[in-house]
Copies of this chain bind each other. A is one copy, B any other.
Amino acid sequence: MSIADDFDLQNFLPYLLNQAAEVSSLQFQQVYKDRYGMLRTEWRVLFHLGIYGKMTAKQIGERSKMHKTKISRAVAKLAERRFLTRHRDGADRRLEYLELTEAGRRAYRDLREVAKTHDSALAARFSEADMATFKRMLRALASGAA
């Protein structure tokens, strides 16, 4: 096996996907990190609330597939920084509705524009048809179903 093994890491999908994901996340990461001191989990929660409006931690978990402890901690930090507020449900007091404050909405709108620009820059490197195929396949892989 020493020299010239026939297996190629650059063709192994999980490896390749991870490398592409890492590289493409980096630029955007610098923005939310430098500008708002956020973590990946935090901008994700922010975006979910920005896009869908008021929702519970549980619902965010279902949509994002993030583990509830990550969400709990991200929510705590966003609340601490006054980007969101929490209200208990009157009927079922286990539930807590999360909603962005005005500051949170401002941050969301700002980052959304950065995301759109970033996405366009990436998309511009490929044809529209290729990009459509690409996203369709990513969604299929992300959804998992064998």
A146 to chain B, nearest CB (A): 7
Interface residues on A, range: 35 or more
Docked pose: A146 CA to B52 CA in angstroms = 32
Question: Which residues of the partner chain B approach A119 to less than 8 Å between Cβ atoms?
Answer: 11-14
User: CB distance B138 to A16 under 8 Å?
Assistant: yes
Q: Which one of B10, B47, B137 contacts A126 once the chains associate, using CB atoms below 8 Å? A: B137
Q: Which residue of B lies closest to A29 (CB)?
A: B14
* Cβ-defined contact, A144 with B23, below 8 A: yes
What is the interface of chain A, defined by CB distance below 8 A to chain B? 1-3, 5, 7-25, 28, 44, 47-48, 50-54, 65, 100, 105, 108-109, 112, 115-116, 118-119, 121-123, 125-126, 130, 133-135, 137-144, 146
